[in-house]
Chain A
Amino acid sequence: MILAQQIISGLATGSLYALAALGLVLIFKTSDVVNFAQGEMAMFGTFIAFTLMNSAGVPYWGAFFLALAFAALMGASIERVVLRPLNKAPLISVLIVTLGLFNIINGVAGWIWGYEQQPFPEGVSGAPINLGGVVFTLPNIVNLSVALIVMLVFFALFKYSMIGIAMRAVAENRIAAKLVGVHTNRVLALTWGLGGILAATAGILIAPVTTLEINMMADMQIKAFTAAVLGGFTSLPGAVVGGLALGVLENIVGQYVPQLKTPFAFGLIVLVLIIRPAGLLGTIQKKKV
């Protein structure tokens, strides 16, 4: 029974990792950028929701959706202003730019909202559910469902919708996509906008657990990277599988050696990458010389 409870709480944490990882994977899939600022976009969006609720008196769900709209705008603007000029630049330049954005967003959030921790409300509340001795809460269920729904929606979007096919075309070959009439710039801006929405969703659902502060995503982000790498950086289901697997494994390890949780996560990345360099569900990208 203790093991069952550990697995359930592991799934609860894991669904948060999965949420944070989904945005990373979405952006990487289309634009080939590992966005190191993803967590900070999440934090910033969450602060926007917080301000709307506390200073403007907007109800929770209103603030939630307004924050998502803001985050979409933010994501698209980042693409337009900073990343578009770099579309021919080498990988390391793009990586550095997202690290720079990390610093800027984190710092500016500190300027605006200060450095104290704030409590952040849950969207749903209710008594914990006890199922045969295994306890879970309503937010746990919401987090897991949101992660699964987001995964399914975007999976379907990529597979069947016109815009999803355009995104895959841009990811595959930008010039060829342009030649067959895809507005590559528009697709990229849209991807980053969607990435912003996913970031803010993750942030708002994570904030009640971590409490709201500018560094709330620091640890979460490393776990999200691990989850994404574990599942294969190009696979949306992979992000969810990776996140849940990481959450459960980490919780079981934490039961015995609590201080080794993070080193364990690192060891896991290295191990998985040695055996399967593209992650559990990822596909290997071949490179031309």
Chain B
Amino acid sequence: MTKKLLYAVGFAALLVLPQVLPSELSWLVFMLNRALIFAIMAIGLNLLTGFAGQISIGHAAFMAVGAFASHGLYQFAGIPVIFSIPLGGLIAAVVGYGLGFPALRLSGHYLAIATLGFGVAVPQVLNIWESLSGGWTGVKPAAPYFYGLSFREDRVYYYLILFGLILLTWMAYNIVKSRTGRAFVALRDSEVAAQAMGVSLTRYKTTAFAVSAFYAGVGGALYGHMINYISPHDFNMGISMELFTVIVLGGLASIPGSIVGAVFMSFLPKLTERVSLALQRSGAFDHSPFLSNVFKNFNQVLTGIILVLVVLYLPLGLVDLWRRLKNLFAGKPNGAVKGVK
């Protein structure tokens, strides 16, 4: 009962959040939108990496496929953006299904390298396909429009993203609880043992890639129509790495972890940017080119340090912090934890 009440209050808070923010903080709404879009993609990547145990460090490629597919469907086929976004996700899913086949024969490091190559190759191929992607100049995806309601403003677009996130989170929970989800986990823990139990490697690995690519594609499409300007090279290794960092940081094989990680990683750069701006105004950089260099690229190092520290000291991610705190206050030992491979 109290749990349900808590959810209701949380949901209501999310609904009114962009409306109650004062206008000088309106950039926060954009950041929040970005964070929620990344949460969608992180859930997808976590289904693949956290649950099914398949590493992908080229996920921005699926994002690019979703974004440009959705733009193309609207531009050339006249499909309303509100429908082209999920369709973009489906097209990404088909590509993901395709990538699943070579991935059948790869695992671990080899898969990581293959997906890295995929992540580098897709933007370059899109770049050559200029009629769709605009090449280096990029394209301007239109804002969604639905029965007289325009989603051009961030404050309105927010609701579309929130709707997508809630729907896809619900879907992810159902996948995890289903036969498919259990097959994913079995594959992650031991491919040979899973096969011996009758889990089809082909079927579930390709499914995992397709589902994950669907999430990334929807996220990419939402992202494209939000920022209204995309070029193939926006979907680079940096984005893939950020997504990967998000799921590790938030917690592998944890859906709430994906969301927490996405929000954290989206707001962290803004925070350090603010700090560095303040320092710059105070004149701290005037005499030290080193300090100014440090703050030009503080995030990257911070991200790296966070990754290393999380792996060393918090292998289950930020979500585990909550459990550890609860145990601490209840006077319980940390106890055994469900293993994550």
Residues of A whose CB lies within 8 Å of any CB of B are 28, 34, 82, 85-86, 89-93, 95-97, 99-108, 110-112, 114-115, 218, 222, 225-226, 229, 233, 259-260, 262-263, 265-267, 269-270, 273-274, 277, 287, 289
> Quick check: A34 and B109 within 8 Å, CB to CB?
yes
Which of B117, B128, B294, B296 has most chain A Cβ within 10 Å?
B117
Q: How many A-B residue pairs have CB under 8 A?
A: 136
Query: Nearest Cβ in chain B — how far from A142, in angstroms?
Result: 28
Q: Given A99-B241, A107-B301, is A225 in contact with B113 using a C-beta cutoff of 8 Å?
A: yes
The segment out of B28-36, B118-126, B174-182, B254-262 that lies at the interface is B118-126
CA distance A93 to B307 in the complex (A): 10
CA distance A255 to B160 in the complex (A): 47
Q: Mark B120-141, 1 if CB is under 8 A from A, else 0.
A: 1100110110000000000000
Residues of B within 8 A of A108 (CB): 301
Q: Given A85-B312, A93-B315, is A101 in contact with B297 using a C-beta cutoff of 8 Å?
A: no
Q: Is B324 interfacial (CB-CB < 8 Å)? A: no
> Quick check: A86 and B300 within 8 Å, CB to CB?
no
> Quick check: A104 and B293 within 8 Å, CB to CB?
no
Q: Is B15 interfacial (CB-CB < 8 Å)? A: no
CA distance A267 to B118 in the complex (A): 8
> Quick check: B106 and A273 within 8 Å, CB to CB?
yes
> Quick check: B297 and A274 within 8 Å, CB to CB?
no
Query: Nearest Cβ in chain B — how far from A171, in angstroms?
Result: 14
Of chain A, the residue at the smallest CB distance from B308 is A100
CA distance A226 to B121 in the complex (A): 13
Query: Nearest Cβ in chain A — how far from B23, in angstroms?
Result: 35
Query: Nearest Cβ in chain B — how far from A113, in angstroms?
Result: 8
Q: Given A101-B308, A104-B305, A263-B125, is A222 in contact with B117 using a C-beta cutoff of 8 Å?
A: yes
> Quick check: B55 and A92 within 8 Å, CB to CB?
yes
The 5 closest A-B pairs by CB, nearest first: A103-B304, A100-B307, A107-B301, A266-B117, A104-B304
9 contacts between A and B (CB under 8 A): A82-B312, A99-B241, A101-B304, A105-B304, A115-B293, A260-B128, A263-B121, A266-B120, A273-B102
Interface residue range, chain B: 35 or more
Residues of B within 8 A of A97 (CB): 307-308, 311-312
Residues of A within 8 A of B252 (CB): 92
Residue from B102, B241, B300, B315 in contact with A270 in the complex, judged by beta carbons closer than 8 Å? B102
> Quick check: A277 and B110 within 8 Å, CB to CB?
yes
CA distance A269 to B128 in the complex (A): 21
Q: Given A111-B290, A222-B120, is A273 in contact with B110 using a C-beta cutoff of 8 Å?
A: yes
CA distance A225 to B121 in the complex (A): 14
Residues of A within 8 A of B121 (CB): 262-263, 265-267
> Quick check: B117 and A110 within 8 Å, CB to CB?
no
Query: Nearest Cβ in chain B — how far from A226, in angstroms?
Result: 7
Query: Nearest Cβ in chain B — how far from A25, in angstroms?
Result: 12
Of chain A, the residue at the smallest CB distance from B252 is A92
CA distance A85 to B308 in the complex (A): 11
Q: Is B49 interfacial (CB-CB < 8 Å)? A: yes
> Quick check: A107 and B113 within 8 Å, CB to CB?
no
The A interface, classified by DSSP as helix, strand, loop or mixed, is helix
> Quick check: A270 and B124 within 8 Å, CB to CB?
no
> Quick check: A34 and B113 within 8 Å, CB to CB?
yes
Residue from B113, B127, B305, B315 in contact with A100 in the complex, judged by beta carbons closer than 8 Å? B305
The B interface, classified by DSSP as helix, strand, loop or mixed, is helix
> Quick check: B297 and A91 within 8 Å, CB to CB?
no
> Quick check: A103 and B303 within 8 Å, CB to CB?
yes
> Quick check: A115 and B296 within 8 Å, CB to CB?
yes
Of chain B, the residue at the smallest CB distance from A214 is B297
Of chain A, the residue at the smallest CB distance from B300 is A107
Q: Given A95-B109, A277-B105, is A86 in contact with B116 using a C-beta cutoff of 8 Å?
A: no
Q: Is B331 interfacial (CB-CB < 8 Å)? A: no
Residue from A86, A93, A229 in contact with B110 in the complex, judged by beta carbons closer than 8 Å? A229
> Quick check: A262 and B124 within 8 Å, CB to CB?
yes
> Quick check: A233 and B110 within 8 Å, CB to CB?
yes
Q: Mark B203-246, 1 if CB is under 8 A from A, else 0.
A: 00000000000000000000000000000000001000100110
CA distance A80 to B5 in the complex (A): 50
Q: Is B341 interfacial (CB-CB < 8 Å)? A: yes
Q: Is B162 interfacial (CB-CB < 8 Å)? A: no
CA distance A266 to B113 in the complex (A): 9
Q: Given A28-B109, A91-B108, A274-B102, list of 19 further CB < 8 A pairs?
A: A34-B113, A82-B312, A90-B340, A91-B109, A92-B55, A92-B252, A92-B341, A95-B109, A96-B248, A96-B311, A100-B311, A103-B241, A103-B301, A107-B298, A114-B293, A115-B293, A259-B128, A260-B124, A260-B125
CA distance A244 to B293 in the complex (A): 38
CA distance A110 to B311 in the complex (A): 24
Residue from A95, A111, A270 in contact with B297 in the complex, judged by beta carbons closer than 8 Å? A111
> Quick check: B120 and A289 within 8 Å, CB to CB?
no
Q: Given A111-B297, A273-B102, A274-B102, is A229 in contact with B113 using a C-beta cutoff of 8 Å?
A: yes
Residues of B within 8 A of A86 (CB): 311-312
Residues of A within 8 A of B17 (CB): none
CA distance A218 to B301 in the complex (A): 17
Residues of A within 8 A of B190 (CB): 289
Which of A28, A82, A269 has most chain B Cβ within 10 Å?
A269
Residues of B within 8 A of A82 (CB): 308, 312
Residues of A within 8 A of B112 (CB): 34, 95
Q: Is B192 interfacial (CB-CB < 8 Å)? A: yes
> Quick check: B290 and A92 within 8 Å, CB to CB?
no
Of chain B, the residue at the smallest CB distance from A218 is B237
Of chain B, the residue at the smallest CB distance from A95 is B112
Residues of A within 8 A of B308 (CB): 82, 97, 100-101, 104
